[in-house]
Structure 1
Amino acid sequence: MARKASEGAKNSELAEKLNKLFDLMRVGSKPPLSNAAAAEAITRETGISISPAYLWQLRSGIKTNPTVAHLRAIAQFFGVTPSYLVDPGIHPEIDAQLNLLQALRDSGVRDLALRASGLTPQAIQSLATMVDHVRELEQLPPVSPTAEEP
């Protein structure tokens, strides 16, 4: 019985990850891909046949035994590592990149980032402090700074 519960948790986690990918990985302000459009594109781009119904079952948490081949094809299509879908748990680096993508979809955030481009590190730190204060005033959770890339 405990095995069934852990399988259900794993599948709902997979459904969550898939739905996040569908929501975030889209062009501009266009709506997310439908299961049919995604299935066609995944099959065309990866050579792995996948049906819209299968995608729906995975995204709904109904499918309890997804194939690794299908998960790899989906990951390849969305540009994430297969481990993001195959391995249980949170992947901080990938989640940080997906959250950044989500933030950059907001035109106001993009505009602010463009305006900050070229400022000194001290000026950017001052802006970050101001934004943190405004987030606090608006009762939003704090945002962890991202690690600098080498």
Structure 2
Amino acid sequence: MVDDQRAEQELPSLDTLAARLEYLFENIRPTSAEVGDSDEPGRRYTNKEIADKINATADETGVTISAAYIGELRRGVASDPRTSHIRALASVFGVSTGYFVDDTAARRIQEQLTLLSELRRMDVKQVALRQVLTDNGLSATDTQLVEQMVARLRAVAEGAGPSENHAAPGVRR
């Protein structure tokens, strides 16, 4: 319980739309397939890249957005986007739309991204991961979910995952 409280205190506050959007830019990075060989791996998305991804699906979704507007949302200059923009941003980052409007959903997704980031950093092997999760009291179902997340991260890192769907297993759109 103390560990849960400490982990919750260490997570940055996501009390504004700008903070939530900035958190996604900070924690969700382009795949190696997206950045190519000449670009630096692990870098952050640019506003233009996110706008381009949204605009690339405009024929299907009817939603367009400018890089400048995304920048305004990130800085808090604009704070009341259209619902269609929220849906498009959520889709591009692979999170549920609830992330932007519901504190509980935002906290849950923030915790999932933190866990995924830590697992990626650790470069764990499946057997070692299973043992660590079991030692920390996770159920077999939860352990399987985390293993699936790790497998998905590896697939995305290798460019094997579908480019339009970056949601972690269990994260609803």
Calculate the TM-score normalised by the size of structure 2. Answer: 0.56
C-alpha change, 1:117 and 1:99, in structure 2 (3 Å) is closer
Q: Distance in 2 between matches of 1:120 and 1:76?
A: 32
Deviation at 1:114, TM superposition (A): 4.4
SS of corresponding position for 1:105:
helix
The answer to whether the Cα contact below 8 Å between 1:71 and 1:86 also exists between their aligned partners in 2 is no
SS of corresponding position for 1:62:
coil
Q: Distance in 2 between matches of 1:63 and 1:120?
A: 43
Q: 2:97 aligns with which of 82, 86, 99?
A: 82
Unaligned ranges ≥5, structure 2: 1-13, 33-40, 146-173
C-alpha change, 1:146 and 1:79, in structure 2 (3 Å) is farther
Q: 1:102 aligns with which of 117, 120, 136?
A: 117
Q: 1:17 aligns with which of 9, 16, 20?
A: 20
Q: 1:42 aligns with which of 54, 66, 72?
A: 54
Deviation at 1:95, TM superposition (A): 2.0
Q: Distance in 2 between matches of 1:38 and 1:73?
A: 10
Deviation at 1:93, TM superposition (A): 2.7
Higher relative contact order (CA 8 A, sep 6+): 2
Deviation at 1:12, TM superposition (A): 5.9
Q: Distance in 2 between matches of 1:49 and 1:15?
A: 19
1:59-113 deviation line (CA, Å, top 9, x unaligned): 11110321111011100111111111133x242432221111221331xx124x5
Q: Distance in 2 between matches of 1:23 and 1:94?
A: 14
Percent sequence identity over aligned pairs: 30
Amino acid in the other structure paired with 2:50: A
Amino acid in the other structure paired with 1:66: P
Aligned residues: 116
More displaced stretch, 78-87 vs 31-40: 78-87
